[in-house]
Chain A
Amino acid sequence: MDYFAGVDIGSTMTKVVIVSDRIEVSLIGPTGPEHRKLANRVMEEALNKACLTFENLTYIVATGYGRINVPFADRQITEITCHAKGLHSLLPSVKTVVDIGGQDSKGIKVVNGKVMNFVMNDKCAAGTGRFLEIIADSLGVPLEKIGEISLTAEKIAAVSSTCTVFAEQEIISRLASGEPIANLLAGIHDAVATRVCSLVKKLNVEADIAVTGGGAKNIGLVKALESKFGRALLVPPEPLITGALGAALMGKDIFAKYMAEGQKPTRSVNKLEEATFFE
């Protein structure tokens, strides 16, 4: 049996998926400053969970912002391509992907699992998971709860500032003047959804539309996005792993191509070694 691994080093989370003819295992861990160590650690855990060794892996593809910091990867492919591939395998009807990550958000237009076009917001924290993290922290609400709490809002409190720092300031002063937390959270989700929607609409948006990334785990944000796009959005079962899954599947395709051409793929390293950050 051939096994293929995808490693997605995002700005806040590191994800590993191992596939054969099915998904063998998926694992998520936080990304710290030491990408390389983390990639090794998460990979080791994933292999343990799947009862595999590094030598069992046929091909490894790294993706995400930290993809060049995965010393054991055989190939690096951007998260745009990997998201499209991974999502197509899970939800083949999807033509537009909205990915809300820790420090960026993006829209991807997909045809048969291939990227047709893409847009990214990587200049401003508003419209990203980090923005929500900061606001949740200011309100003293656990990040994983903000979605549900926002759904209990009586009204959407308008948040005028799109700058994270000033939005935080605005939230605190509105809270002091008695605005309920739920209304404020609904306002924040509305602001993020507005920003993301205007970004993604630069693409010629076609249904079905799916949401991935950490933002997809926030039901309040997903509902706000549905309101902006004017339709129901699809969310994969584990929206954080689509990039890593796509990377693993890309590895499988690359390997198959080599085989079809009667060639042996060039491997990067034969064993998983602890790497130091400064090497």
Chain B
Amino acid sequence: MAEEKKGRAVATSTAAKIPKFVRGNLSATLKAKEEGKKVAAAFIADGQDEIMRAMDIVPAWGESFSGVCAAKRDAEKYLQKAESDNFSRSLCTYATCNIGFDMMREELGGATPEGAPWGGMGRPDMMLGNGQLLCDPRFKWPQATQHYQQDVPVFVTNMYYPPWDPNADHHEQEAIYVKYATEELRETVKFCEKITGKKMDWDRLAATVELSDKTWDLFIDTYELRKHIPTPMDTGDAMNTMVPLTFNLGTQEAYDFYVDLNAELRQKIADGVGVANPERYRIIWAAGLPSWFALGDFQYFNGKGVVFPVEVTYRGCEKIERLDLPKTNDPLEHIAWRWVRYWTHWYDAAKKRPGSTPKVERIIEYIEDYKCDGAVFHSAFSCRSWHAGIMQQAATLKKVYKDIPILIMEGDIVDISSYNEADTHNRIDAFIETLAAYKKRQG
């Protein structure tokens, strides 16, 4: 058949180091006991990373483990286990997959269930939940799984930031939110001190926070290299290269990873190597977690000359200078300011564009900076807290910015029963044809 010749996707070799990070994080939870360390069931982007790292607490990332189960297409047994205790499929499948795994482990007296992907995850000594605006399951998930692990103490904090209100001055509110978040983090430290029996080394925490700031800066500097045409790295890779920032923040290994990635991207640019050749369309991954069992779909896009030079998802940091953080000697207050400003620093730009919102403004900024022709949103049915509002974001983007082609993909993060490869590829093909027509109209 006379199909168009497909380009070849080129992944970064630095991304190949990611499985080592993920396996290392999982095995650390299993080895912690013999090393005399405590394990904390923890959640990403809650501001607690540096506290755990500075106290030698080993984080057990449930979201990461569920993602691994999904990527290995081996989550169904855990989902079914949770479902057998009436946890609905419409709940967060990161949570239900992990709860199902916890249930099985408890039935085995704490031993790792046989056949657990990548060796499974160790039993926690504590659970650090977090009720905040990003994700609601982190409030109930630890409480739900505590039914099966009743001896494991749960500590749930709250990290809030000023809600978006175009008529309010968030600058006046920020300090109040920072004060609240700082106190929450201080209570987290006290809880961790109680469980570990060790006192926080505040100098070590300050040094860890400083390293995190450096990692944030380096991450953004590195990702901004993707503005180059053709882009040297795609979102398909970024769904892997986010691991050190997201799960290993505050460690030298995370920083060093981005040093390597930065060098590789610079080399690719110098050599003229792009993800797709030719690069026909540049798309932003505008919102949503990916279907971990279908990351190959990025290759499908790439094979048709479509690249994603930028994504909102897992870009969980910003240049520290841009956040204009007030000076403080308290590392917890610094974390709190960084947390609050990470969310609010798009507010001023959003106020300048009538009808816009910070989330939409962020997408517009990336579309402009990375010269994107269209946007893809992924609506994962079980990820309610993030994915609710995606349709409205897409509609607002079209209304306040441009009527650019938008593809809403539907699926889930873990539950593969939501996925149909043929239909997904059909939608992608139709989207690419829409892009072609759009670009033709634009001249």
Given contacts A123-B418, A202-B391, A266-B2, contact A115 B437 (CB under 8 A): yes
A81 & B430 in contact (Cβ 8 Å cutoff): yes
Q: What is the distance, in angstroms, from B28's C-beta to the closest C-beta of chain A?
A: 38
Flag whether B422 is at the interface (Cβ < 8 A): yes
- B315-369 CB contacts (< 8 Å) to partner A: none
- B395-421 CB contacts (< 8 Å) to partner A: 403, 405-406, 408, 410, 418, 420
Residues on A with C-beta less than 8 A from B426 are 65, 78, 120, 122
For the residues of B in contact with A, the DSSP-based class is helix
In angstroms, Cα B3 to Cα A181, docked, is 49
Flag whether B433 is at the interface (Cβ < 8 A): yes
A115 & B1 in contact (Cβ 8 Å cutoff): no
Among residues of A, the one whose C-beta sits closest to the C-beta of B407 is A118
Residues on B with C-beta less than 8 A from A76 are 1, 3
Residues on A with C-beta less than 8 A from B441 are 114
Interface size bucket, A side? 20 to 34
- A259-279 CB contacts (< 8 Å) to partner B: 266-268
A77 & B433 in contact (Cβ 8 Å cutoff): yes
Flag whether B434 is at the interface (Cβ < 8 A): yes
Q: What is the distance, in angstroms, from B257's C-beta to the closest C-beta of chain A?
A: 37
Partner of B429, one of A70, A71, A78: A78
Flag whether B151 is at the interface (Cβ < 8 A): no
- Of A77, A104, A122, A202, chain B has the most CB atoms within 10 Å of the CB of A122
Flag whether A74 is at the interface (Cβ < 8 A): yes
Given contacts A78-B433, A116-B434, A118-B434, contact A65 B422 (CB under 8 A): yes
Residues on A with C-beta less than 8 A from B1 are 68, 70-71, 73, 76, 268
Given contacts A117-B406, A118-B430, A123-B418, contact A75 B2 (CB under 8 A): yes
Residues on B with C-beta less than 8 A from A268 are 1-2
Flag whether B427 is at the interface (Cβ < 8 A): yes
Residues on B with C-beta less than 8 A from A73 are 1-2
Q: What is the distance, in angstroms, from A27's C-beta to the closest C-beta of chain B?
A: 22
In angstroms, Cα B374 to Cα A116, docked, is 12
Residues on B with C-beta less than 8 A from A65 are 422, 426
A80 & B437 in contact (Cβ 8 Å cutoff): no
Q: What is the distance, in angstroms, from B355's C-beta to the closest C-beta of chain A?
A: 15
Flag whether A119 is at the interface (Cβ < 8 A): yes
Flag whether B423 is at the interface (Cβ < 8 A): yes
B433 & A115 in contact (Cβ 8 Å cutoff): yes
In angstroms, Cα B403 to Cα A73, docked, is 33
A117 & B434 in contact (Cβ 8 Å cutoff): yes
Q: What is the distance, in angstroms, from A175's C-beta to the closest C-beta of chain B?
A: 31
In angstroms, Cα B420 to Cα A68, docked, is 17
A115 & B408 in contact (Cβ 8 Å cutoff): no
Residues on B with C-beta less than 8 A from A104 are 423
In angstroms, Cα B433 to Cα A268, docked, is 21
Given contacts A115-B437, A268-B1, contact A122 B420 (CB under 8 A): yes
Residues on A with C-beta less than 8 A from B2 are 73-75, 266-268
Q: What is the distance, in angstroms, from A57's C-beta to the closest C-beta of chain B?
A: 14
Contact with A along B86-105 (1 / 0, CB 8 A): 00000000000000000000
Partner of B430, one of A68, A71, A78, A202: A78
- B145-181 CB contacts (< 8 Å) to partner A: none
Residues on B with C-beta less than 8 A from A266 are 2
Among residues of B, the one whose C-beta sits closest to the C-beta of A118 is B430
In angstroms, Cα B4 to Cα A68, docked, is 12
B437 & A114 in contact (Cβ 8 Å cutoff): yes
In angstroms, Cα B2 to Cα A268, docked, is 5
In angstroms, Cα B420 to Cα A65, docked, is 13
Contact with A along B424-443 (1 / 0, CB 8 A): 00110110011001000100
Residues on A with C-beta less than 8 A from B3 are 76
Residues on B with C-beta less than 8 A from A267 are 2
In angstroms, Cα B2 to Cα A116, docked, is 26
Q: What is the distance, in angstroms, from B151's C-beta to the closest C-beta of chain A?
A: 41
Contact with B along A55-76 (1 / 0, CB 8 A): 0000000000100101101111
Partner of B403, one of A70, A74, A116: A116
Among residues of A, the one whose C-beta sits closest to the C-beta of B420 is A122
- A27-73 CB contacts (< 8 Å) to partner B: 65, 68, 70-71, 73
In angstroms, Cα B97 to Cα A99, docked, is 37
Given contacts A71-B1, A76-B3, A202-B391, contact A119 B433 (CB under 8 A): no
Residues on A with C-beta less than 8 A from B433 are 77-78, 80-81, 115
Residues on B with C-beta less than 8 A from A71 are 1
Residues on A with C-beta less than 8 A from B437 are 81, 114-115
In angstroms, Cα B428 to Cα A118, docked, is 11
Residues on B with C-beta less than 8 A from A115 are 430, 433-434, 437
Q: What is the distance, in angstroms, from B303's C-beta to the closest C-beta of chain A?
A: 14
Residues on A with C-beta less than 8 A from B427 are 120, 122
A-B contact pairs, 15 of them (CB 8 A): A65-B422, A68-B1, A70-B1, A71-B1, A75-B2, A76-B1, A76-B3, A77-B433, A78-B426, A80-B430, A120-B423, A122-B420, A122-B423, A122-B427, A123-B420
User: Which residues does B use to contact A, with CB under 8 Å?
Assistant: 1-3, 391, 403, 405-406, 408, 410, 418, 420, 422-423, 426-427, 429-430, 433-434, 437, 441
User: Which residues does A use to contact B, with CB under 8 Å?
Assistant: 65, 68, 70-71, 73-81, 104, 114-120, 122-123, 202, 266-268
Contacts A73-B2, A78-B430, A123-B410 known; list 15 others, CB within 8 Å.
Answer: A65-B426, A76-B3, A78-B429, A80-B430, A81-B430, A104-B423, A114-B441, A116-B434, A119-B408, A120-B423, A122-B420, A122-B423, A122-B427, A123-B423, A266-B2
Of all A-B residue pairs in the complex, the 4 with the closest CB atoms, nearest first, are A80-B430, A78-B430, A122-B423, A114-B437
